[in-house]
Chains A and B, each alone.
Chain A
Amino acid sequence: MSYPILSTLIFLPIFGAIAILLISRSNTALIKWTALMLSILIFGLSVPLFTDFDKTSGLMQFVEKHAWIPAWNINYTLGIDGISVLFVLLSTLLTILCVTVSWNSIKDKVKEFYAAVLFTEGAMIGVFCSLDLFLFYIFWEAMLIPMFILIGVWGGPRRVYAAIKFFIYTLVGSLLMLVGIIMLYYNTDRSFDMLTMMSANYPYSLQLLLFWAFFAAFAVKVPMFPVHTWLPDAHTEAPTAGSVILAGVLIKMGAYGFLRFSLPIFPEAAKAMAPAMMALSVIAIIYGGIICLAQTDLKRLIAYSSVSHMGFVTLGIFALNTQGVQGGILQMINHGIVTGALFLCIGMIYDRTHSREIAHYGGTASIMPIYAGMFMLFTLASIGLPGTNGFVGEILILLGGFTVSKVLGALAATGVIIGAAYMLWLYQRIFFESGNDFKSRFGTEIADINAREIFTLLPLLLLVVWIGVYPSTFLDFMVPTVQKLLQRVNDAGIQPGVIQQITEVIK
């Protein structure tokens, strides 16, 4: 590469954020256009990752390595492989949409808002690209700050409660991980180099301890049952862009962490704990799904559906076979696209009606037909209809899960029924039946979505169909990396006793 592409992708948004802060507060047009142009430029710069990525290699690519704090053996190491590349692309794409969807809805503290969005983008990309544990941790925590601000400043009525809950929840998890990181450092000859860790062999007892330390951080982020209760509050109170970033990228970091750390660095522990992780995942799928049936708040419902969908992701990952892990990674991308899109949709109607109460709606299909059509497609993707991206991810995960445990696989598949129930019911309550209530409540002047909004949803809509019809484009990225990862896990010795015991119980 002629220039350090990953560093550019991380620091251009961060410097861009600073630049926006320097613009005069009154010049909102310039602020918005700068943010939009920057986000488009960053996306453009990330496209080479898609086109130039070597899909036949399972190694790190676009690697940059510089000594940073030599005294502590800390390096500035970046690189991406088949697991992380798609997340970087997803982040750069979703950021554009976050900017366009907020165009008219954010009127207060405009420049801080767009600066926060761009800063989050830089930090998120940093998380996915870091190959040095110290650097990783910095990005991991740095991401929290703008997110905390996004929820706390531009959020709904209970934003302060939600923001602090989100912050504490994730911080507690992160602190346990920090302890784990320091332990790893001392047990890797005082090195933070992740690639070294991925080929090192740690004693099983240490692995087990570290697995749980990291688990604390990742499980909260995913979020896995039972540490999910921050998510509905955070999502519900966050502004649209905040929800999109949360659902689209931020909660993926937990599952990404499992793939990047738990599996390759603690393979024996991961293997031993896999049945427990799968069981927790299945609980999340069913629990998150059923609880959706009781929701009366639009955003809260979609938030809980994320718990269910992320349950599929972790189920796939801990199935520890090709279909499961590939399906898990793909499903993370899918969830980012579909749930991101649903939050965008909800933001669009919220801008018009200022209500998140499902009961306030009805008959929207005849009032906003284009909007209804797009929402329908994302609904179908969310319930995993074949032909949409959701199906490809789900079927691979179910294949992976079913191969390991028939009972867990079958239980997970019930999520498909529950998903259809709550999503179609939601759709009916918002879009079908008579629109008279809607009109009397919100007036007859509600307009269908405009061109800006259509173009905000269109890229995601195309991705839904593209991945649904021809997923190979995306699956091919991860083939060698996943193979290498599973090789690493499978080569690890099995700890007799633990795995059998747990497997016996759940089989």
Chain B
Amino acid sequence: MLNYVLIPLLPLAAFAVNILFSNAIGRRAHLIALPAVAGSFLLSVYALIGVQAGTIINQDIYSWIVSGSFKASIGFLIDQLTVVMLIVVTSISLLVHIYSVGYMHDDDGYARFFSYLSLFTFSMLMLVMSNNLLQLYFGWEAVGLCSYLLIGFWYEKKSAADAGKKAFIVNRFGDFGFALGILLIFVSLGSVHYADIFSGVGALQGRTINIAGFNFDLITLIALLLFCGAVGKSAQMPLHVWLPDAMEGPTPVSALIHAATMVTAGVFMIARFNPVFTLSDTAMAVVAIVGASTSLFAATIALVQNDIKRIIAYSTVSQLGYMVLACGVGAFGAGVFHLFTHAYFKALLFLGAGSVMHAMAGNVDIQKMGGLKKYMPATYWTFLLASLSIAGVPGFAGFFSKDEILWLAYNNGALGKVLWASGTLVAALTAFYSFRIIFLAFHGKFRGTAEEEHHLHESPKVITIPLILLAVGAVSAGWIGIPAAFGGANHFAEFLAPVVGHSAVTASHTEEMMVVALSIAAALGGIGMAYLFYSVKPCAPLILAGMFRKVYRLLWNKYYIDEIYDAILVRPSKWAASYLLVRVTDGRIIEGIVNGVPSMIKAFGDRLRKLQSGNLQHYAFGMVAGLFVILTVIFIAVSR
């Protein structure tokens, strides 16, 4: 058991040491953080080997909160799904740690940065290893905290501090639903432990619950409340607004937290709770539709943005939508598979973007780049491999996982056909905006100043080596899930099947070929369009933007969602607080009565005794005396 306990405990210890002795440790913080996360990674590999050999662990460590019939433990469930997440979290975390040694080299908050990274790794591991909902919630909130701290890492910048706060509060909206889901599960099933929930949830089928006069299907309500949490954490519509702003954080953070691990916690949670979700067709349909719409919506925004990190951020929102869509059509395994491959190619894209920013002295505008290929070959080639992977070019990791999602969506009835069509369109858009970065940033001529051009250089080895290692993953991570149609055995799906089950496939082999062909066509078409627009005819985008000015403005302003929230939520609540509550209720009504009673008594006394007094003590006396009289009367009346 110790080897499992150590997986989260090592980063926790590193965090404690680095935060307590940050002044003494300073630039040596990585000497503590790196070995810790490397240890966690090795132990995770060991856990994977154990699970492959059939060792499933479900064990409580200690009772955390016990009150009456409520009992929540700190405990671990190590099964197929957990080990996949363990590998993703520890491997990406390790690479990001190495990368950060170079990337954060000159930062004053070096020790603080590494201590937060360790705390995040600990929290994320507690989340994925949990065997009950409350510990999951602990990890869920703790990763949110780390995200808050790391987005606002450069807190002296107002935009960074704002973005951190926004991420936390927007997530709290999702967590509000999630917490209610946990409460509802406890109230209905009497337990928050996975094993009890999954064995008991079947008995809830058909039960309804009356809330405020409305009848709700109990399981649907539970599933949708849990899903609220995923909508927040995995940045689905309408709570996606925090993720693009989260790019204010240092780039390694964007790669680790806002691409590969934390934001996929929502997908992981849905996959974990597949026994609950599959019992409600309504909930599943909602999940699928939210996922597909988010995916399409975010991809359209990504088409026109110029900030390299924001494009990748919208791309993350879009890809998370794919994963959620997969869960919604019951293809939990495919969703987790995409989570797995996405972790590598998306972390690589972010770290590559960080390498570019390193060379560009922090500039993120792709319109100001160009021709970087020549100056930073390692960054270029790894970035290209990641882009080929996300675009879904056959043979690369992203192709296999995306294709599986589209194929399984296609098999999911009439709704599935619509979702599949939208997903295929998104695939084309994805290829387009990904290669828009490639052509604008890496090809052509450099469009910045001569001084900037002089500064261009390849990043040091400590940065490029993690890129190369991730590139290996971005290319090959999909090979463990090659479907039968391509002569593979789909090991990944088989491995996860004990936890998430198999998806039903009803369509024919010919149809499968058609789905595959269309997704390849979408990928190549998108790349081709990007080539045409940004390499062959650079004036085309401007003409197009001019022709569809309104659409362009809408996309450029991200559908004005932030502005809408500000108008309907932020400003009204500030107004309610400062005007309605402070001035009216507290100020006039309550204080009016409180100060009014003594004034009345005083006025009465004034008239009676013709006394003049502006003294607060006299008010006090008047009030107390008056009450004494009233009370005595009541008392005599009652005790008679």
Contact = CB atoms under 8 A, between A and B. Distances in A.
Interface of A: 160-161, 164-165, 167-169, 171-172, 175-176, 179, 182-183, 186, 209, 226-227, 229, 287, 290-294, 321-323, 326-327, 363, 365-366, 373, 380, 385-387, 391-392, 395-396, 398-399, 402-403, 406-407, 409-410, 413-414, 416-417, 420-421, 424-425, 428, 431-435, 469-472, 475, 507
Contacts of A161: 616
Contacts of B591: 229
B212 A407 contact: yes
B211 interface: yes
Given A229-B586, A392-B65, A291 B212 contact: no
A327 B623 contact: no
Nearest to B70: A323
A359 to B, nearest CB: 14
A472 B63 contact: yes
Contacts of B180: 402, 409-410, 413
A307 to B, nearest CB: 10
B156 A396 contact: no
A444 to B, nearest CB: 16
Given A290-B576, A291-B581, A421 B141 contact: no
B284 to A, nearest CB: 24
Interface in B1-43: 19
B577 A292 contact: yes
The residue in B145, B210, B617 that gathers the most chain A C-beta atoms within 10 A of its C-beta is B145
B186 interface: yes
B156 A179 contact: no
A290 B168 contact: no
Contacts of B212: 406-407, 507
26 contacts: A175-B624, A226-B590, A229-B594, A287-B581, A290-B576, A291-B577, A293-B574, A322-B70, A365-B155, A386-B142, A387-B141, A392-B65, A395-B134, A403-B187, A409-B183, A413-B176, A413-B180, A417-B176, A421-B169, A424-B165, A428-B155, A428-B162, A431-B155, A433-B157, A434-B156, A434-B158
B586 A386 contact: no
A471 B176 contact: no
B581 A290 contact: yes
B573 interface: yes
Given A386-B141, A431-B155, A398 B179 contact: yes
A323 B172 contact: no
Contact of A293 (B65, B68, B573): B573
B639 A168 contact: no
Contact of B577 (A179, A293, A366, A471): A293
Contacts, number: 172
A172 B597 CA distance: 12
Contacts of A434: 156, 158
Nearest to B626: A172
Given A406-B211, A407-B211, A433 B161 contact: yes
A431 B149 CA distance: 13
Contact of A183 (B176, B616, B639): B639
A428 B161 contact: yes
A385 B187 contact: no
B137 A417 contact: no
B572 to A, nearest CB: 11
B141 to A, nearest CB: 5
B505 interface: no
Interface in B158-206: 158, 161-162, 165, 168-169, 172-173, 175-176, 179-180, 183-184, 186-187
Interface string B499-520: 0000000000000000000000
A402 B187 contact: yes
B69 interface: yes
Interface of B: 19, 62-70, 134, 137-138, 141-142, 145, 148, 152, 155-158, 161-162, 165, 168-169, 172-173, 175-176, 179-180, 183-184, 186-187, 209-212, 573-574, 576-578, 581-582, 585-586, 589-591, 594, 598, 616-617, 620, 623-624, 627-628, 631, 634-635, 638-639
Contacts of B141: 385-387, 391
User: Which of B19, B581, B598 is the most central at the interface, judged by chain A CB atoms within 10 Å of its CB?
Assistant: B581
Nearest to A363: B156
Contacts of A209: 638
A433 B165 CA distance: 12
A172 B70 contact: no
Contact of B145 (A172, A321, A380, A414): A380
A176 B623 contact: no
B208 to A, nearest CB: 13
B635 A433 contact: no
B165 A399 contact: no
A420 B66 contact: no
A52 B446 CA distance: 77
Nearest to A406: B211
A385 to B, nearest CB: 5
B624 A171 contact: yes
Given A386-B142, A432-B152, 16 more contacts: A172-B624, A175-B627, A227-B590, A294-B574, A363-B156, A392-B65, A395-B134, A398-B179, A417-B173, A420-B172, A431-B155, A432-B155, A433-B155, A433-B161, A434-B158, A472-B66
Contact of B638 (A183, A229, A416): A183
Of A294, A380, A392, A431, most B-chain CB atoms within 10 Å: A294
A386 B156 contact: no
A403 B209 CA distance: 13
A179 B634 contact: yes
Contacts of B574: 293-294
A235 to B, nearest CB: 14
B152 to A, nearest CB: 7
Contacts of A421: 169, 172
Nearest to B186: A399
A193 B501 CA distance: 65
Contacts of A327: 67
Greatest chain B CB density within 10 A among A172, A392, A398, A470 is at A172
Contact of A425 (B165, B175, B631): B165
Contacts of B161: 428, 432-433
A395 B65 contact: yes
A298 B349 CA distance: 43
A413 B228 CA distance: 14
A168 B624 CA distance: 7
B620 A416 contact: no
Nearest to B156: A434
Nearest to B595: A165
B169 A175 contact: no
Nearest to B591: A229
A170 B594 CA distance: 12
Contacts of B623: 168, 172
A183 B577 contact: no
Contact of B635 (A172, A183, A373): A183
Would you list the 3 A-B pairs with minimal beta carbon distance, nearest first? A322-B68, A294-B578, A294-B577
A322 B69 contact: yes
Contact of B156 (A175, A433, A471): A433
B169 A420 contact: yes
A398 B158 CA distance: 35
Nearest to A486: B68
Contacts of A160: 616
A323 B67 contact: yes
